[in-house]
Amino acid sequence: MSTRKFRFGVVAAQAGSGEDWLNKARRIESLGFDTMVMPDTLQYSLAPFPALAAAAAATRTLRIGTYVLANDYRHPVMVAKEAATLDFISGGRLELGIGAGRPNSATDNTMLGLPFDSGSIRVDRLAEALAILKPLLAGQTVDFSGTHYTVSKAAIAPAPVQNPVPILIAAGQPRLLKLAAREADIITLAIQPEETEAEVAERIDVIRQTAGDRFAQINININLMAVGGQVPRHIQMSRGAEAAQQLAQSDAIPVLKGTPDQMCDRLAWLREKFAINYVVVGDELEAPGIDSAAGSRRARSSGYGTSISSCEADMTTAHISTTHPAPTTARTRLRINGVDRSLAIDVRVTLLDALREYLHLTGTKKGCDHGECGACTVLVDGRRINACLTLAVMHAGQAITTIEGLAQGDQLHPMQEAFIQQDAFQCGYCTPGQIISAVALLNEGHTGSADEIREWMSGNICRCGAYPNIVEAIQYVAADATR
């Protein structure tokens, strides 16, 4: 039986502001997660080193990590320098994740004028980078001459607190899996939903055989694609809402579904079957998923099999029970439609519920409560977000605009007028979200064509099918704005 201890992490990439980012880190720590990790992209995430430094400064025990650095455009000596500094200022909390490049990171390479080489070349480059990076982090002076890097008497300061700094490598194909098995302390398996148990077991075997005695010390990690019926928005966008829902209900390996007990059973099975002991979830999903699974387990005292007891013990004594606080109430100042509103509110209340249940601003609608329909769209500092997917306390001090805030007295917003003129609704339930989204769309400049409008309004569902008139209303206002 596997005795690997369970670990839980959250992948965070973006924030509405610096304060929002710090609050996110604090919240992840307060929920009892072990790690907060960040991807490395030019466009879709904050820059990992400064953002993780800020997250570390806002927390005390939360481990921080890159998930994963794009090796192609980062020189290993500079990575060692940045990583050592981050480990130093975080008091030894860094887990350094690095990879050979996701298939869709070719765009980033292009922006930097770098080729996106074949997989084998990128893996070779990563192997050379690790041969430089690891001894540098261990305090050695490095001379290296390879195909991709030449380094002469390189040395860095400060020394990291940890020795060694844990290295995470994201790997899918055998060549990279073998490199990871030789070099990594944590291996992230990039598992697609279509992958069978046999295929995943095959990959674990590659790691096991290559790592030899080290295998027992390696953490095997996966990034969950759905938890408790919820799917991160980026997966919904890439797969479509229907396919994402099917995924959430499927038996795919990177999916946890059912009751908290069933989810915990599934975690125990993943560990038993594939040695997977470390799971991360997108920051949209962390609260209802893992946390509630752990909480439910903690409330029970007996009646589980050996592996489940082990799962329970890890979750409670090693992970959750020592850090998970009782629900707390916080006084939060929200700036809604230009007016400051002060609320004493449970920190777990969503922005949507705060608006509707506490402030009685019921114009913002609750459709799915899962980030799928867009009925709850509001503007936060001018950006549209789903209010059901975010917590009210995370938006202290930010300017929140709801449908009630668009009109100036009796004067409707031009988008409201256009929806009426173009008959762009039937039952009207989705309409506040549609209008708020449309207002943001105008500012984003995505009104070049009907197709573009449809694409950028695709997060707002209308069960009455008023889409043609919604597009016409938006085009009408867009045209008016250019007159």
Q: From CA 425, how far away is CA 465, in angstroms rounded?
A: 8
261 binds ligand FES (CB under 6 A): no
Residue closer to ligand FES by CB (options 79, 376) is 376
369 binds ligand FES (CB under 6 A): yes
Which residue from 171, 279, 375, 457 is in contact with ligand FES, where contact means CB under 6 A? 375
Among the residue ranges 33-41, 274-282, 284-292, 364-372, the one whose residues contact ligand FES (CB under 6 A): 364-372
253 binds ligand FES (CB under 6 A): no
Residue closer to ligand FES by CB (options 14, 426) is 426
Residue closer to ligand FES by CB (options 81, 356) is 356
Q: Give the footprint of ligand FES on residues 206-235 (CB under 6 A).
A: none
Residue closer to ligand FES by CB (options 86, 388) is 388
Q: Output the six-digit token pair for 475.
A: 């085009």
Residue closer to ligand FES by CB (options 275, 388) is 388
Q: From CA 156, how far away is CA 141, in angstroms rounded?
A: 8
Among the residue ranges 22-30, 57-65, 283-291, 367-375, the one whose residues contact ligand FES (CB under 6 A): 367-375
State the DSSP H helix or E strand holding residue 78, giving kind and residue range, or none if neither.
helix 76-89
427 binds ligand FES (CB under 6 A): yes
| C-beta of residue 264 within 8 angstroms of C-beta of residue 293 | yes
Among the residue ranges 195-203, 267-275, 424-432, 472-480, the one whose residues contact ligand FES (CB under 6 A): 424-432
331 binds ligand FES (CB under 6 A): no
| C-beta of residue 332 within 8 angstroms of C-beta of residue 342 | yes
Residue closer to ligand FES by CB (options 47, 420) is 420
Query: Which long-range contacts does 420-427 make (Cβ < 8 Å, 24+ apart)?
Result: 421/473, 421/476, 422/469, 422/470, 422/472, 422/473, 422/476, 423/469, 424/466, 424/469, 424/470, 424/472, 424/473, 425/462, 425/464, 425/466, 425/469, 425/470, 426/464, 426/465, 426/466, 427/463, 427/464
Q: From CA 71, how far away is CA 116, in angstroms rounded?
A: 11
Q: Where are the alpha helices (DSSP H) in 275-399?
A: 292-299, 306-313, 351-353
425 binds ligand FES (CB under 6 A): yes
Partnered with residue 282 across adjacent β-strands are 11
Q: From CA 399, how far away is CA 337, in angstroms rounded?
A: 7
Query: What is the chain's percent helix, strand, coil content, to nearest 5?
Result: 45, 20, 35
372 binds ligand FES (CB under 6 A): yes
Instruction: Check residue 17 and report its DSSP letter.
Output: S
Which residue from 99, 101, 228, 371 is in contact with ligand FES, where contact means CB under 6 A? 371
* Closest CB 462 distance from ligand FES, rounded Å: 3
432 binds ligand FES (CB under 6 A): no
Which residue from 373, 391, 392, 440 is in contact with ligand FES, where contact means CB under 6 A? 373
Q: Output the six-digit token pair for 8.
A: 């839980």
* Closest CB 465 distance from ligand FES, rounded Å: 8
Residues 6+ away with beta carbon under 8 Å from 360 = none
For residues 378 to 417, the per-residue mask of contacts with ligand FES, x marking binding by CB under 6 A and - elsewhere, is: --------x-x-----------------------------
* Closest CB 352 distance from ligand FES, rounded Å: 6
Looking at the chain, how many residues does it have?
Answer: 483
Number of residues near ligand FES (by CB under 6 A): 23
96 binds ligand FES (CB under 6 A): no
What secondary structure does DSSP assign to 180-248, as a single string? HHHH-SEEEE---TT--HHHHHHHHHHHHHHHGGGGGG-EEEEE-SEETTB--HHHHHHH-HHHHHHHH
Which residue from 51, 376, 453, 471 is in contact with ligand FES, where contact means CB under 6 A? 376
430 binds ligand FES (CB under 6 A): yes
| C-beta of residue 191 within 8 angstroms of C-beta of residue 159 | no
Q: From CA 244, how far away is CA 232, in angstroms rounded?
A: 9
Residue closer to ligand FES by CB (options 63, 356) is 356
464 binds ligand FES (CB under 6 A): yes
Positions touching ligand FES (CB under 6 A) are 366-369, 371-376, 386, 388, 425-431, 462-464, 466
